[in-house]
Amino acid sequence: MIQFSHAIADPEGLHARPIAAIAATLAPLSSAVTIRVGERSSEARDLMGMLGLEARGGSTIEVTIEGPDEEQAAEALRAVLP
């Protein structure tokens, strides 16, 4: 299992475009990826769930990745997080 925190640098936060990029990046990978903001959490491939996190610019998200390709998923996710 890999866990890390990420501060959202985009002033618009996690909106549709970066969320779609996250889902597309993770699509070929099999690891489970959960993103948490405060008390809310969502599977990273769930577009509506991710929008429901309401992660604003400056928010810190907590990412948990678990699965056979978790290292690859973590590297790919870090590259697309705003």
44-77 tens-digit pLDDT = 999 999 999 999 999 999 999 999 999 999 999 9
Looking at residue 59, its pLDDT comes to: 94
Could you give the CA distance from residue 82 to residue 75 in angstroms, rounded to a whole number?
A: 14
Looking at residue 14, its pLDDT comes to: 94
Domain count across the chain: 1
Looking at residue 11, its pLDDT comes to: 94
DSSP 11-60: TT-S-HHHHHHHHHHHTT--SEEEEEETTEEEETT-HHHHHTT---TT-E
Looking at residue 63, its pLDDT comes to: 98
What is the pTM assigned to this prediction?
A: 0.92
CATH number where 70 lies: 3.30.1340.10
Q: Which domain holds residue 73?
A: 2-80
